[in-house]
């Protein structure tokens, strides 16, 4: 276990070992020399911040980077303008995600002018795109370190290279089949954690850049996953979120293949673990076995994120989603029948090339039939390198905006109705934080992922309590503790 490693006892007078993760432990020890020297010169340790853009995968990667930074001796500083080392963990799934990164990079570049010792690092999905890296190398000279999604595990080694060369270090692999276990990770919450079960995606939905930037699908060994969860539980974690781009195809590429449903059953056995969540599920791979396991489980939460993307079979085919509207609706009815209290959420894209008003009406029809608790709605973004970017019939922006508005109205009306059906009931909630809006209140999360704010005290954080849902406010509740 990396928690047993004493970095200062590692012999750094010799060359670096070839084997992982020992190689990275060695570079963590090397970098510690730098932070200790910083302390001697400045009377304090250097500070760092990892700023995350995008999805839960990136959030978990950021926890890994923060864990390595802490092991090196950095202290956390949330405000990026005050930190000695700022890392942007980027997203590239839609164009506006890229724009946000460039905006922030411009701001931090100005700050660096007055604080020249500052380091700026860039990693994540955007770095897997050669044109973006080229643009940064050319026009954003303030950047010190660039690394890709497959190089996260090498963070200490790359930082060491930067500290000793004083030149921009760039390391971006196109792909890998390597999964390095046993590296430090720092959790944002002491009581809940994300756990990667697989990396990459093999689906190639025609609009999506993810398979190009995250590489081919690779599953972690079940024993590594179970050991990590046991370790987390012994460290106080009660809720885990299993992470993968398509968790339903977990285990297919293992030497000894295993289904996701089977993995869930094994995780369920871990004593002390109270709640299991997972995302994302691809409808085409969601098995009857999984529905059955969910229906009988005491720990798997009654929530499923099941992206539909479009309600039109014609558009779904162009998206390469490999299910029809009817198959999706039939899956939803089987799920609802087996797990009546199941909360469903989804992702929807409007304005995919060739989408007609009739296609859009099909999407609205699915929303009305399924009655999602919430839906993430996206305007189609043309990602260079994806098949959809070259499709004819790209839809004019004003038409997309009009559909997007209509979609939003429909989604909001339905989700506020479907979220409110629990009003007047008492639910078990995991208290997550102090409520930032109302003094004397705390915020808890129900099994179905909905939030409730109620009068409480900070010592409740991380515990389960029973809460009466007094008033529904659309997509959250105001409640009262039940003694
Ligand atoms: N344009 C708009 N939305 C996209 N998504 C993925 N790629 C694109 C794109 N090019 C959305 C999908 C996916 C979610 C994470 O992001 O809905 O489920
Ligand atoms: Fe992208 Fe489709 Fe893979 Fe999800 S399943 S990451 S939308 S290619």
DSSP string for residues in 325-353? HHHHHHHHHHHHHHSTT-EEEEEEEE--T
Q: Give the angle subtended at the CA of 248 by the CAs of 242 and 254, to the nearest 5°.
A: 85
**Do 214 and 125 form a contact (C-beta atoms < 8 A)?**
yes
Q: Is the pTM of this model over 0.95?
A: no
Ranges of the chain whose pLDDT falls below 50: none
According to the model, what pLDDT value does residue 121 have? 98
**Tokens 């460039």 — which residue?**
102
Ligand 1 contact, 94 CB (< 6 A): yes
According to the model, what pLDDT value does residue 188 have? 87
According to the model, what pLDDT value does residue 271 have? 97
Q: Which two tokens stand for residue 194?
A: 């994300």
**Do 81 and 109 form a contact (C-beta atoms < 8 A)?**
no
| CA-nearest residue, atom 1 of ligand 2 | 208
Ligand 2 contact, 387 CB (< 6 A): no
Ligand 1 contact, 309 CB (< 6 A): yes
According to the model, what pLDDT value does residue 116 have? 86
Ligand 1 contact, 88 CB (< 6 A): no
384 φ, ψ (degrees, to nearest 5)? -55, 135
User: Could you tell me which residues are beta bridge partners of residue 454?
Assistant: 442
| Distance (Å, whole) CA 311 – CA 325 | 6
Ligand 2 contact, 321 CB (< 6 A): no
Ligand 2 contact, 71 CB (< 6 A): no
Centre of ligand 1 from the C-alpha of residue 426, in Å: 36
According to the model, what pLDDT value does residue 166 have? 81
| CA-nearest residue, atom 17 of ligand 1 | 347
According to the model, what pLDDT value does residue 412 have? 95
| Top mutation candidate among 282, 347, 349, 385 for ligand 2, by most atoms within 8 Å of CB | 282
| Top mutation candidate among 54, 95, 280, 347 for ligand 1, by most atoms within 8 Å of CB | 347
């Amino acid at each position: 276990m990396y928690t047993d490693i004493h970095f200062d006892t590692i012999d750094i007078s010799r060359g670096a070992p070839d084997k992982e993760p020992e190689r990275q432990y060695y570079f963590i020890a090397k970098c510690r020399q730098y932070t200790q020297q910083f302390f001697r010169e400045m009377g304090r340790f250097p500070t760092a911040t990892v700023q995350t853009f995008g999805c839960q995968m990136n959030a978990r990667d950021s926890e890994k980077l923060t864990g390595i930074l802490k092991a090196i001796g950095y202290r956390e500083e949330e405000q990026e303008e005050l930190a000695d080392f700022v890392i942007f963990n980027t997203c590239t799934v839609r164009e506006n995600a890229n724009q946000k990164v460039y905006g922030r990079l411009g701001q931090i570049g100005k700050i660096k002018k007055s604080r020249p010792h500052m380091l700026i690092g860039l990693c994540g999905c955007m770095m897997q795109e050669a044109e973006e890296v080229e643009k940064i190398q050319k026009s954003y000279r303030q950047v010190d370190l660039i690394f890709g999604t497959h190089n996260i595990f090498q963070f200490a080694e790359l930082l060491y290279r930067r500290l000793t060369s004083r030149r921009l270090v760039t390391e971006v692999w196109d792909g890998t089949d390597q999964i390095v276990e046993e590296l430090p990770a720092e959790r944002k919450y002491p009581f809940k954690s994300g756990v990667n079960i697989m990396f990459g995606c093999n689906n190639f939905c025609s609009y999506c850049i993810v398979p190009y930037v995250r590489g081919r699908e690779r599953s972690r060994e079940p024993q590594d996953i179970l050991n990590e969860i046991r370790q987390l539980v012994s460290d106080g974690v009660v809720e885990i979120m299993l992470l993968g781009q398509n968790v339903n195809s977990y285990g297919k590429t293992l030497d000894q293949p295993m289904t996701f449903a089977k993995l869930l059953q094994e995780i369920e056995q871990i004593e002390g673990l109270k709640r299991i969540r997972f995302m994302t599920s691809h409808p085409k791979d969601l098995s009857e076995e999984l529905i059955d396991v969910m229906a009988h489980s005491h720990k798997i939460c009654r929530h499923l994120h099941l992206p539909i993307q479009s309600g039109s079979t014609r558009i779904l085919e162009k998206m390469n989603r490999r299910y029809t509207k009817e198959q999706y609706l039939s899956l939803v009815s089987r799920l609802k029948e087996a797990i009546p209290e199941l909360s469903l959420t989804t992702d929807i894209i409007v304005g995919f090339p060739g989408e007609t008003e009739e296609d859009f009406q099909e999407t609205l029809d699915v929303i009305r039939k399924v009655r999602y608790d919430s839906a993430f709605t996206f305007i189609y973004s043309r990602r260079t390198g994806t098949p959809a970017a070259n499709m004819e019939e790209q839809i004019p922006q004003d038409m997309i905006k009009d559909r997007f508005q209509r979609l939003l109205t429909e989604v909001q009306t339905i989700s506020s109705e479907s979220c409110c059906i629990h009003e007047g009931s008492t639910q078990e909630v995991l208290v997550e934080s102090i409520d930032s809006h109302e003094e004397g209140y705390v915020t808890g999360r129900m099994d179905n992922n909905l939030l409730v704010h109620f009068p409480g005290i900070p010592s409740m954080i991380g515990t389960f309590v029973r809460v009466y849902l007094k008033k529904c406010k659309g997509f959250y509740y105001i409640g009262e503790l039940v003694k």
